[in-house]
Amino acid sequence: MSMMSMRKQRQTMPSDVIVIGGGAAGMMAAHAAALYGKQVLLLEKNNRLGKKILITGKGRCNITNRCDTDTFIRNVPQNGRFLYSAVNQLTPEETISYFENSGLSVKTERGNRVFPVSDRAGDVADVLERNIRECGVEIRPERVTRILTEGGAARGVECESGERYLASSVILATGGLSYPRTGSTGDGYRLAENLGHRVTELKPSLIPIVTEEVWCKKAQGLSLKNVTLSLVDRRDEKVLYSELGEMLFTHFGVSGPLVLSASSHLRRMEPGRYLLRIDLKPGLSEKQLDARILRDFSEQANKDFGNSLGKLLPKKLIPVIVRLSEIPYDQKVNQITREMRGRLCGLIKNLTLTVSGFRPIEEAIITSGGVDVKEISPKTMESRLVKGLFFAGEVIDVDAYTGGFNLQIAFSTGYTAGINC
């Protein structure tokens, strides 16, 4: 037999399981299935596995969140209850043990966020890849274009290369739509739709916010720590989100942890309807702030107003606040009236921005929406429409806040699919 025909024959040999996508969910699924004695073929269109993992947590990878299942589910605003079973099958604690038993030491930081001690996301991707290779998972660089079925059951896949691979189970773990350069270009939604699955509306989540106020550009690059950010629906003044933390000004508006979290509460984007209110001094009441300003002013009575705020505000915000306060820059501090001071206090406690939109979905941390959870068994991650077809990770219509929850969703659903396929 020639080399060519030997290779051809090997390619078409059926496996037990085909995993489509070598991200966090796909690698965990492949490892679990292999540990359960399955012969696994993993198809990944990139020439390396886990490309998205490398950019997670600003290159440090927030692997999971050290919390119990109920807390976990509370941090999944979209279809959290669907995940109960999967998160119980592989809990955050078990995920931590998984990585530690694989030789990766981890540490727990503020907000129960878990990171590798090395602070290197690449180490997380390496552990997953090493584990699946050691278990004998076969990895091939292929882009899957079709899932094959026979009599309502999965039978294999067809690839862009023209190659067909056969298996009795197929796990779809192709990720979402964000950061497409990592490989997540939405293929999985089309593959699922072609088999009759419903894909709910795809929207960005955990995404920077564009504001109407162009002054943000002036403060571009400024990072605020220990501020309170509130998201308010101006129709009824309802506060949809309010948290203390960090945020960042950009050329288009705002970003940073608080803003990303606030964005996931903006389920319906209507430009002009929502306001972001920043309390720059959450530790002080208006009265305390006024007393503090009076003290600062009395120490520099002959200075111009614009030069008197250095102790109170970050440098980049001073021209912005001065302009919004409508107090002349060169007004002598000892001539500032009580009413003017009131306006200044109001701005510092309540610096308001109007939400005009999201940045494009490609810049989102995650995609909200995906394969409808009603069509997936929460206990096994198997499709209710196509026997032997399983889902794992971001391709499913679930999404969580920041803090390691999204990767844990990928690990838990991947593991559940892997042990049940």
Ligand X SMILES: Cc1cc2nc3c(=O)[nH]c(=O)nc-3n(C[C@H](O)[C@H](O)[C@H](O)COP(=O)(O)OP(=O)(O)OC[C@H]3O[C@@H](n4cnc5c(N)ncnc54)[C@H](O)[C@@H]3O)c2cc1C
Helix (H, G, I), strand (E, B) or coil at 90: coil
Binding to ligand X (CB under 6 A) within 62-81 occurs at 62
For the chain, the farthest-separated pair of C-alpha atoms sits apart, in whole angstroms, at 97
Which residue blocks in 229-278 are alpha helix, DSSP H? 257-263
Q: Does 125 bind ligand X (CB under 6 A)?
A: no
Query: Does the CA dihedral 102-108-109-110 come out positive or negative?
Result: positive
DSSP string, 26-65: HHHHHHHHHHTT--EEEEESSSSS-TTGGGGGGGT---EE
User: What would the x/- binding string for ligand X be over residues 139 to 168, using CB under 6 A?
Assistant: ----xx------------------------
Q: Does 57 bind ligand X (CB under 6 A)?
A: yes
| Cα–Cα dist 317/72, whole Å | 37
Closest distance to ligand X from the beta carbon of 39 (Å):
19
Closest distance to ligand X from the beta carbon of 274 (Å):
23
Q: Does 393 bind ligand X (CB under 6 A)?
A: yes
Closest distance to ligand X from the beta carbon of 57 (Å):
3
Interface region with ligand X, contact rule CB under 6 A, candidates 37-45, 304-312, 327-335, 380-388: 37-45
Binding residue (CB under 6 A) for ligand X from 17, 18, 19, 25: 25
Place of tokens 């794992």: 392
Size of the site for ligand X (CB under 6 A): 39
Report the amino acid identity of residue 150: E
Closest distance to ligand X from the beta carbon of 416 (Å):
13
* Closer Cβ to ligand X, 49 or 266, answer by number: 49
Q: Does 44 bind ligand X (CB under 6 A)?
A: yes
Q: Does 410 bind ligand X (CB under 6 A)?
A: yes
Q: Does 394 bind ligand X (CB under 6 A)?
A: yes
Phi first, then psi: give them for residue 25, nearest 5 degrees: -70, -45
Decide if 170 contacts 42 (C-beta within 8 A): no
Q: For residue 399, what is the DSSP state?
A: B
Binding residue (CB under 6 A) for ligand X from 306, 369, 404, 418: 404
Decide if 414 contacts 393 (C-beta within 8 A): yes
Closest distance to ligand X from the beta carbon of 115 (Å):
8
Binding to ligand X (CB under 6 A) within 234-293 occurs at none
Q: Does 367 bind ligand X (CB under 6 A)?
A: no
Q: Does 92 bind ligand X (CB under 6 A)?
A: no
CA contacts within 13 A on the Cβ side of 169: 25
| Cα–Cα dist 264/241, whole Å | 10
Q: Does 407 bind ligand X (CB under 6 A)?
A: yes
**What is the H or E stretch that residue 277 is in?**
strand 274-279
Decide if 49 contacts 142 (C-beta within 8 A): no
- The pairing of strands 351-358 and 274-279 is antiparallel
* Closer Cβ to ligand X, 186 or 388, answer by number: 186
Burial class (CB in 10 A: 0-12, 13-18, 19+), 140: middle
Binding residue (CB under 6 A) for ligand X from 179, 241, 305, 401: 179
Q: Does 138 bind ligand X (CB under 6 A)?
A: no
Q: Does 129 bind ligand X (CB under 6 A)?
A: no
Interface region with ligand X, contact rule CB under 6 A, candidates 22-30, 82-90, 162-170, 264-272: 22-30
* Closer Cβ to ligand X, 122 or 328, answer by number: 122
Decide if 415 contacts 382 (C-beta within 8 A): no
Helix (H, G, I), strand (E, B) or coil at 273: coil
66: alpha, beta or left? (left if phi > 0; alpha if psi -120 to 50): beta
Binding residue (CB under 6 A) for ligand X from 95, 178, 230, 325: 178
Site for ligand X, rule CB under 6 A? 20-26, 43-46, 51-52, 55-57, 61-62, 143-144, 173-175, 178-179, 182-184, 187-188, 365-366, 393-394, 404-407, 410
